[in-house]
A and B are shown apart, each in its own frame.
Chain A
Amino acid sequence: MSEKLDPKFPLRRPYKKPEMERVSLRPEEAVLGNCKSMAAAGPGGSSSCMSVGPCFTQGS
Chain B
Amino acid sequence: MQPEADLRRQKRERCAADTLTLRVGDVGVRIRSDDPHMKLYVQGAAESFLVSNGAADVEVTAAWGKLCQPANTSFVFDSGGLWRLSRELENHVFHLTSPMYGTLPYKRATFSPDFTCGEVLLERSYFDPRGPVDALEYPLDELLMMNLLAHGRGVEVHACGLEDTDGQGYLFLGHSGAGKTTTARLWQKAGGVRVLSDDRIILRSWAGATWMYGTPWHGEARLALPARTPLRQIFFLRHGNANEIVPLGGGEALARFLACSFVPFYSRSGLDFALAFFHQLIDSVPCAELRFVPEERAVELARVYAA
Contact = CB atoms under 8 A, between A and B. Distances in A.
Whether chains A and B associate is: yes
Interface of A: 21, 23-36, 39-45, 47-48, 51-55, 58-60
B80 A43 contact: no
A11 B99 CA distance: 63
A11 to B, nearest CB: 20
Contacts of B134: 45
Contacts of B255: 21, 23
A58 to B, nearest CB: 7
Contacts of A31: 77, 79-81, 265
Nearest to B158: A29
A51 B219 CA distance: 21
B176 to A, nearest CB: 5
Nearest to B100: A48
Contacts of A24: 175, 259
A29 B176 contact: yes
Given A43-B128, A45-B43, A26 B175 contact: yes
B44 interface: yes
Interface string B112-134: 00000000001000111000011
Given A31-B265, A32-B146, A52 B98 contact: yes
Contacts of A60: 176, 199, 219-220
Interface in B220-270: 220, 252, 255-256, 258-259, 261-263, 265
B139 to A, nearest CB: 5
Contact of B100 (A29, A32, A44): A44
A42 B80 contact: no
Nearest to A31: B79
Interface string B72-99: 0000010111110000000000001011
